[in-house]
Amino acid sequence: MQLSYKYRIYPTRSQAAMLGEMLRDFCALYNAALEERVDAYRKRGICLGYTHQAVELKAVRALGYGFEHWSFSAEQQVLRRLDKAFKAFFRRCKAGEKPGFPRFRARARYHAAEFRVGDGLTLRKTGWISIVGIPAEIKCIWHRNLPSEPTSAILTRQNGKWYVVFHVEVKEAAFASAATVGLDVGLTSLVALSTGETLPRPNFTKKAAKGLRKRSRALARCKTGSNKRRKTRLLKAKYETRIANKRRDHLHKLSRNLVRRFGGIGTENLSVKGLAKGIHAKHVNDASWAQLISMLAYKAAKAGGAVVKVDPRGTTRECPRCGHVAVKTLADRMHICDCGCVLDRDVASAMVIHHRAFSFKARNDLSRKWTEECLGALSKGSGSRLAPEAVCFN
């Protein structure tokens, strides 16, 4: 599996200016390639592809427009980036979705460039990197070692700070634990586990609303295009970055804790994008369910576990004990069934998710395979950290 490792870099003032110039040239190359594709189709009915534009790139570099100063492979990645945008556009057209034709990029919003490690970007001694076209080496804070040699890297600029993200291949660990759990995400409680635990939502956006409102009003009072507006916008962006960092740190710690305790995690296959467009969009975005499930997926795979997604329909209405389906409103926060089952609404839903993901009535091959591995680990009784009562198939 491939993982990303992010590091902070500290270029000097002259190096930062050169990096900014490089991104501006890459943005100009992207827009020129897009314009060429549009004109070729409108005037001649020709659909250009990456191969044709990559051949032209050599001639453009020879003309001396400034592109010859930067890495040729990095400029190829710019053309591949445009090619991916067009492929996604045609795919959405065929699927009947909203097409979203590729748009021209503004220089102020072009903040990333992709490199091949060893070609356009080279790792020097620990703590330093070099980039083609940038004088001298750039200092990098090496806060952790890479598990293997990186294949590619992305240079990115975020609120005036520079980072490099390395892509490395990591071997998946062997099957470590047969303990499983069902996980239900919500707004009242961020997550509820089938074990009966509930973890509250931190509400980072609500806590920071006053400061965000103050900075938004200050930005609205500034004159468009002025230096004060630019500085105020950066202050607002830094404040929003602090909120995002707190949220991401909390999700990292939560997902790591769950992966350490459970080898199998069952979740709902939610359409978070659709939920984020509804009446509770602000709270759904603050909860960041998609980000949490994504972290669980790659951390579980790295640790030898798995995340199983189940059909979310009816998980809230179904009784985890008898299976009876009862209609509930959002105001009903307790699950009360005639069979005598009285549970927190979210915990009951998590137990239903656990049953769908890991019970004998498995609905997909992955769940069935995981159940067999769980039973095998229990029957052998060796090399497993699982207590028999930890597996509950309901």
Distance set, CA 25 to CA 22, 64, 65, 132, 154 (Å): 5, 12, 9, 14, 16
346 catalytic? Reply is yes
Indicate which residue of 268, 311, 338, 365 is catalytic. Answer: 268
**Which structure tokens are listed for 150?**
């990186």
184 catalytic? Reply is yes
Taking the C-alpha atoms of residue 253 and residue 310, their distance in angstroms, rounded to an integer, is: 24
Indicate which residue of 75, 114, 318, 346 is catalytic. Answer: 346
Taking the C-alpha atoms of residue 30 and residue 358, their distance in angstroms, rounded to an integer, is: 48
Map the chain to HEC letters: CEEEEEEEEECCHHHHHHHHHHHHHHHHHHHHHHHHHHHHHHHHCCCCCHHHHHHHHHHHHHHCCCHHHCCHHHHHHHHHHHHHHHHHHHHHHHHCCCCCCCCCCCHHHCCEEEEEECCCEEECCCCEEEECCCCCCEEECCCCCCCCCCCEEEEEEECCEEEEEEEEECCCCCCCCCCEEEEEECCCEEEEECCCCEEECCCHHHHCHHHHHHHHHHHHHCCCCCHHHHHHHHHHHHHHHHHHHHHHHHHHHHHHHHHHHCCEEEEECCCHHHHCCCCCHHHHHHHCHHHHHHHHHHHHHHCCCEEEEECCCCCCCECCCCCCECCCCCCCCEEECCCCCEEEHHHHHHHHHHHHHHCCCCCCHHHHHHHHHHHHHHHHCCCCCCCHHHCCCC
**Which structure tokens are listed for 368?**
């069935």
Indicate which residue of 114, 184, 286, 318 is catalytic. Answer: 184
268 catalytic? Reply is yes
Distance set, CA 79 to CA 186, 199, 221, 256, 307 (Å): 41, 45, 40, 37, 35
In sequence order, which residues have a C-beta less than 8 Å from that of residue 176 and are 6 or more positions away? Answer: 263, 303, 304, 305, 385
Q: Which residues are catalytic?
A: 184, 268, 346
